[in-house]
Structure 1
Amino acid sequence: MYIWEQPDWQKLTWKDATIAARLAEVRHDQGRLIGRMEALGFRLREEAVLQTLTQDVVKTSEIEGEQLDATQVRSSLARRLGIDIGALPPTDRNVEGIVEVMLDATRNYASPLTTERLFGWHAALFPTGRSGMTRIIVGNWRDDSTGPMQVVSGPYGREQVHYSAPPSTRVAAEMGAFLAWFNAPTSTDPVIKAALAHLWFVTIHPFEDGNGRIARAIADLALARSEKSPQRFYSMSAQIRAERAAYYDQLERTQKGGTDVTAWILWFLECLGRAIHGAEGVLAAVIAKAQFWERAGSLALNERQIKVLNRLLDGFEGKMTSSKWAAIAKCSQDTANRDIAALIDAGLFRKGEGGGRSTHYEVAL
């Protein structure tokens, strides 16, 4: 029996005594992080928000198996937030869509969550009306015309069904109850509400595709309400991506259990706590970047050098070689070598360990 088959499934319960200590720790860590970020000053705080949101958008898509270009995501976010990061590369429609969803969820956290708002989010995620090569219903609830909504894994012919959602005939009524609960005033702690909202929405699974991304956007909206701030300094999606197997295991156990969801809330709180602590890395990177540019400010760097250095400082994946430099800067190999040599002479760049074909370069922080 799935949780939604329980006669009173919308009356989810939990044991306060079991989660109280962890909730108190998370709330304390939330406040401490916000305090530290606010002490950074406007420009550094702006950079921290941009890095966090970029990570959030990239990782929430990765969880669903979609790889987005982080540079495009950062560019789209910077343009919409009015942050100057230099020349902005063009972005794909699928990047623009998920960026729109995440920004609407966090910047407009105080606005009610409505059917039309959810339909707008769904349409933004699938601007072509297709999920991959498959045409899907966009901006409306699923109708199960191609069969029941199930979460499956495994090769064709040997699929394993992890979860079956409520039939489409129940979706409108289920979502009506969910939205009424989500928008109503409550004495429940907003962080607990974020955990419950994520579980409740993904259990209904109201859309043909995109349910996970929208569930995480709803959780981010609820977390923004818990902080009464649109600024995001940690990424729950990035932490869920890092713990994806545990996330799906806990979700499956909860959806196949009773209406006591204490174990789910506890897992959510622990994951959230790790996400908040993970923000220390963002904070360190933002400060290191600012200190680097203070040191480099007196040097006459060209546009190519500034562009590639920013790519590296913003979390470039892999090792920077002269050929990668040439590709990013759109210059010849000889020009790339001269740019790199000048930075090494200035003490801003250094050779990484290894040589020959393994020769690569690192920013000297």
Structure 2
Amino acid sequence: MLYPTPVLTDADQAVLAGIEEMRQNLRHQIQGSPAKWTLGLRKYLTADAVARSNSIEGFRVSTVDVQDLMDGERDVDVSEENREETLAYQRMMTYVQTLHDVADFEYSKGLLNALHWVLQGHRHSARRPAGQWRPGAVYVTDPDDPRLAAYTAPAADEVAGLIGELVAWLNTDDGSHPLVRAAMSHLHLVSIHPWADGNGRMSRSLQTLMIARECVLAPEFSSIEAWLGRRQNTWAYYAELKRRGSTFVPDQDVSSWIRFNLTAYHEQAQAVQGRVDRSAAVWSMLLEFAAETGLDERTVSALHDVAVIGRIRRHRYEQAEGLTLQQAQRDLRDLTAAGLLEPVGRTRARYYTEGPHFPERVLEVARTPMTLTAPYEVG
């Protein structure tokens, strides 16, 4: 038995309508924007989702470091464990994103276990197998005392049957809104806790996969993993899961879980819209600056990353503009000589931040914080 999908209230419907309006507007804006900065933004949002979702599990790597690892940089100051976890999650997320338009796609036990292997294969052992249902009991322990069980998952011999129910539900349209179904899939999977480890990230990834399959907007613009990874939201996430009880009791009202997720969707859409607006404004301002100062237009992508992300590495700039090693090095050297960039570190670990002559008005636009509106408090 799975949790019944609750009927949305008028307030829920109003919030959902607001989310849909923002997502449609964002879709049109992205489609009409320059490919270079939208591609960079998509990579950044993917890195942010990976970084913050992993942080919930205690693997802390900054978004910019995750982006460097995704770019293939080796000289990134992170532990080997954090590197492994970051790259494994990134590989799984990349695969999830590619499934958005597969024509004969269907959910299956095999798909879920395969995704789990991508995520946890590097940790596979007889006691904690990857890509296989757990052989024994599993507990979510209290963060302050690991000897206390905050949640005890269903018995191991119930897992296959429960996952069978979940897969059947995933492959059947029950008439609920896709974003509501995605939220429910997260709750179903995390409550069953079918693997010895990695259940939280798998559940969040399943939600992202369902959003991707909706085909309204690229999943990196709609995923709530980055929102969940913010410290205050993470604690609210734990508290909401705790409301379900200390054991699996599916015959209950989970309306508060839906409200929690609708809030997450709404606030994440606001945050992404704000980043898109800032990125677009910065790109336009830098194009004008390049024209005024005689800079090659291709250098705008490097200056844009510095303004909106905080730094640029030679390899990323080289890839973004399709340059040779020598061309990229020369451009960055010239930008440094002009005082627009400042090198940090040596040789392969070097990256560049803003220099003393970087246009202040661009940095002001790029780094002015925005305020999120709580959707259920509007009106």
Corresponding residue of 1:14: 6
Question: Paired residue for 2:44?
Answer: 51
Opposite residue 46 of structure 2, the aligned amino acid is L
Q: Hey, what does 1:103 align to over in structure 2?
A: 94
Q: Kindly tell me: are residues 328 and 206 of structure 1, through their superposed partners in 2, closer, same or farther at Cα, counting changes over 3 Å?
A: farther
What letter corresponds to residue 106 of structure 1 in structure 2?
Answer: Q
Which residue identity does 2:169 align to in structure 1? W
CA contact under 8 A between 2:5 and 2:184: conserved in structure 1?
Answer: no
Q: Residue 315 of structure 1 is aligned with which of 284, 300, 309?
A: 309
Tell me which of 172, 188, 192 is aligned to 2:176: 188
Q: In the alignment, what sits opposite 1:61?
A: 54
Paired-residue identity, %: 20
Separation in 2 of the partners of 1:118 and 1:151? Answer: 24
Mapped contact 1:149–1:208 kept (Cα < 8 A): no
Deviation at 1:229, TM superposition (A): 4.4
Aligned pairs for 1:55-134 (under 5 A) are 55-68=48-61, 70-71=63-64, 73-75=66-68, 77=70, 88-90=72-74, 92-109=83-100, 110=102, 111-129=105-123
Give the corresponding residue for 2:376. none
Once the two structures are superposed, residues 8-62 of structure 1 have per-residue CA deviations (whole angstroms, 9 ceiling, x without a partner) of x425141323522222222222212222222213223222211211111111111
Residues 1:34 and 2:47 are matched in the alignment = no
Alpha carbons 1:153, 1:161 under 8 Å: kept? no
Deviation for aligned residue 1:311: 6.0
What residue is the counterpart of 2:204 in the other structure?
Answer: 216
Task: Output the CA distance in 1 between the equivalents of 2:198 and 2:278.
Answer: 31
Contact 2:209 2:219 in 1 (8 A): no
Greater CA drift, 290-299 or 208-217: 290-299
Match of 1:166 in 2: 154
Query: What is residue 335 of structure 2 aligned with on the other side?
Result: none
Give the 3-state SS of the residue equivalent to 1:89 in structure 2. coil
In 1: Cα distance, 2:349 partner to 2:253 partner: 60
Partner of 2:358: 348
Separation of aligned partners in 1, 2:353 and 2:199: 45
CA drift of 1:246 comes to: 0.7
Task: Give, in whole Å, the separation in 2 of the partners of 1:255 and 1:292.
Answer: 52
Could you tell me how far 1:236 is from its partner in structure 2? 0.7
Q: Say whether 1:153 aligns with 2:163.
A: no
Q: 1:175 aligns with which of 163, 166, 172?
A: 163
Structure 2: 5+ residue stretches without partners: 77-82, 312-341, 367-379
Task: Map 1:267-282 to 2 at 5 A.
Answer: 267-282=260-275
- Checking the alignment, whether the CA contact within 8 Å between 1:60 and 1:238 is kept in structure 2 is yes
Q: Kindly tell me: are residues 181 and 255 of structure 1, through their superposed partners in 2, closer, same or farther at Cα, counting changes over 3 Å? A: farther
User: Using the alignment, how far apart are the partners of 2:218 and 2:238 within structure 1?
Assistant: 28
TM-score (norm 2): 0.72
Give the count of matched residue pairs: 315
Amino acid at match of 2:73: P
| Distance in 2 between residues matched to 1:249 and 1:215, nearest whole Å | 16
Unpaired runs of 5+ residues, structure 1, are 1-8, 79-87, 318-323, 351-361
> Residue 100 of structure 1 aligns to which amino acid in structure 2?
R
Give the CA RMSD over aligned residues: 3.5
TM-score w.r.t. the length of structure 1 is 0.74
The answer for the alignment partner of 1:136 in structure 2 is 128
Q: What letter matches 1:137 in structure 2?
A: P
